[in-house]
């Protein structure tokens, strides 16, 4: 009788263990992907719900003024990095004035305008190539002034070559500035 009981218990254990393993496989194959899909759908729903709430809040007259002030502050921040198309021609003059502050003579500059930026319809980049002769201290001074200039002037490359004849260095710099496109060019999507 004990042997029959042991056979019965061991066979029941094997049946339950097999059923448990089948249940785990079924969960992994059938239910786990559904849980992942559910999570992604919940994220999509949450995004749509947030957009809906923003749309409802935007239609509220009290919130319109706060949204307009937010837009103005964003435009001011963008203005720190992007120069207007009309003012882009004055940038070379600004750089020469910075050089005059540091008593840099023989400054030459060349501009390459309206370089397209991939995927951007409203902003292009202008490249300015500047070269001059001056001391290392003058180079550091103009570099510092360019870093603090508004709108931002990005220094892409620079080289300083020491002259063997004088204490002056031959400095060349490649600068980049973001420029807003003309309204008619921006509207056409070019």
Q: Are residues 118 and 45 in the same domain?
A: no
CATH code of residue 167: 3.30.70.60
Q: Are residues 177 and 95 in the same domain?
A: yes
Rounded Cα–Cα distance for residues 1 and 8 (Å): 10
Beta-carbon count within 10 A of 93 CB: 10
pLDDT digits (tens, 9 = 90+) for 128-187: 899 998 888 888 998 888 888 888 888 889 999 988 887 788 899 999 888 887 665 444
Q: Are residues 101 and 38 in the same domain?
A: no
Q: Are residues 170 and 115 in the same domain?
A: yes
Q: Are residues 184 and 143 in the same domain?
A: yes
Q: Are residues 109 and 150 in the same domain?
A: yes
Residue 71, domain member (yes or no): no
- What is the three-class DSSP state of 169? strand
Q: Are residues 136 and 101 in the same domain?
A: yes
Which range marks the domain in which residue 107 is found? 83-188
Q: Give me the number of domains the chain comprises.
A: 2
**pTM as predicted:** 0.58
For residue 149, what pLDDT is reported?
83
Q: Are residues 15 and 99 in the same domain?
A: no
DSSP string, 79-107: HTTEE-TTTGGGHHHHHHHHHHHTT--S-
Across the chain, mean pLDDT equals 83
Rounded Cα–Cα distance for residues 148 and 145 (Å): 5
């Amino acid at each position: 009788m004990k042997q029959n009981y042991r056979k019965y218990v061991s066979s029941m254990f094997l049946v339950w263990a097999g059923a448990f393993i089948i249940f785990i496989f079924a969960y992994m194959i059938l239910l786990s992907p559904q849980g992942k899909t559910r999570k992604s759908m919940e994220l999509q729903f949450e995004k749509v719900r947030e957009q809906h709430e923003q749309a409802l809040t935007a239609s509220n007259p009290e919130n319109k003024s706060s949204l307009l002030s937010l837009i103005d502050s964003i435009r001011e921040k963008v203005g720190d990095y992007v120069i207007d198309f009309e003012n882009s021609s004055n940038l070379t003059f600004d750089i020469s004035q910075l050089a005059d502050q540091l008593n840099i003579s023989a400054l030459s500059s060349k501009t390459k305008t309206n370089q397209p930026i991939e995927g951007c319809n409203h902003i292009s980049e202008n490249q300015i190539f500047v070269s001059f002769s001056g001391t290392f201290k003058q180079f550091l001074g103009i570099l510092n002034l360019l870093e603090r200039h508004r709108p931002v002037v990005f220094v892409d490359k620079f080289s300083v070559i020491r002259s063997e004849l004088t204490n002056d260095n031959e400095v060349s710099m490649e600068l980049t500035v973001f420029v807003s496109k003309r309204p008619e060019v921006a509207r056409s999507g070019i």
